[in-house]
Chain A
Amino acid sequence: QKEVEQNSGPLSVPEGAIASLNCTYSDRGSQSFFWYRQYSGKSPELIMSIYSNGDKEDGRFTAQLNKASQYVSLLIRDSQPSDSATYLCAVIVPGGGNKLTFGTGTQLKVEL
């Protein structure tokens, strides 16, 4: 079982819609969760971090964490063509000295 799993996509949504990206993780001891956006050929950019159960909102982005289900999600409201990118879920896995582990990423396409 992979430590962090994401659907690779592509996920296509129309402009103005809500995009929903999902991630599951295997280590129940994980405490820190992150979403990164990566444009083609560029390095990842942090867009959200979440440390406790529930929702965390920042502008058009909402991160949701459910530790009981080992599930973290990212909602993007009013999706724009500039949101088209790969979204990477990352988790700090406590086993082995708090290593930062990434999923394979979900490609999002926002269509006009």
Chain B
Amino acid sequence: DGGITQSPKYLFRKEGQNVTLSCEQNLNHDAMYWYRQDPGQGLRLIYYSQIVNDFQKGDIAEGYSVSREKKESFPLTVTSAQKNPTAFYLCASSKVEGTTEAFFGQGTRLTVV
């Protein structure tokens, strides 16, 4: 089945640790996105990528890093510089031409302990 897979579903981080969230898609989409959602809030864009080996900062990139070495994969690292990382993280992908609907993975809920 085609789709977007995020892992893990739940993640616990100790203060000062870096953690990496996985996002893989087999939809042959060129564009991939990472969003953060806090309780009762909308989606805020962290990073996005339109093509392999290239990505752009979104509205809240500080404390996060990404890579796009393969078309299918767009991992997000939450670094220790991110002071308030507890949130629901969502990955999405889309085509860049024609019908550009984005589809989401199931999300990763990150909690700092």
Query: CA separation between A51 and B42, bound complex, in Å?
Result: 22
Asked whether, in the complex, the Cβ of A100 is within 8 Å of the Cβ of B104, the reply is no
Asked whether, in the complex, the Cβ of A49 is within 8 Å of the Cβ of B42, the reply is no
A104 at the interface (CB under 8 A from B): yes
List B contacts of A104 (CB < 8 A): 41-42
Asked whether, in the complex, the Cβ of A46 is within 8 Å of the Cβ of B103, the reply is yes
Count residues on chain B whose CB falls below 8 Å from chain A CBs: 25
User: With A43-B104, A44-B104, A46-B101 given, is the CB distance from A99 to B42 under 8 Å?
Assistant: no
Query: CA separation between A96 and B50, bound complex, in Å?
Result: 11
B85 at the interface (CB under 8 A from A): no
List B contacts of A92 (CB < 8 A): 100
Q: What 0/1 readout, one digit per residue, does chain B (70-113) give for beta carbons within 8 Å of chain A?
A: 00000000000000000000101010100111111111000000
Asked whether, in the complex, the Cβ of B94 is within 8 Å of the Cβ of A100, the reply is yes
A66 at the interface (CB under 8 A from B): no
**Which of B41, B45, B105 makes the CB contact (< 8 A) with A100?**
B45
Asked whether, in the complex, the Cβ of B56 is within 8 Å of the Cβ of A99, the reply is yes
Asked whether, in the complex, the Cβ of A97 is within 8 Å of the Cβ of B50, the reply is yes
Asked whether, in the complex, the Cβ of A34 is within 8 Å of the Cβ of B43, the reply is no
Asked whether, in the complex, the Cβ of A96 is within 8 Å of the Cβ of B107, the reply is no
B91 CB, min distance to chain A CBs, angstroms: 9
B93 CB, min distance to chain A CBs, angstroms: 10
Residues of B within 8 A of A (CB): 31, 33, 35, 41-45, 48, 50, 56, 58, 90, 92, 94, 96, 99-107
5 contacts between A and B (CB under 8 A): A43-B104, A96-B56, A98-B31, A102-B44, A103-B42
Complex A-B, nearest 10 residue pairs according to Cβ-Cβ distance, in ascending order: A104-B42, A102-B43, A43-B104, A43-B107, A105-B42, A49-B101, A32-B100, A97-B56, A102-B42, A44-B104
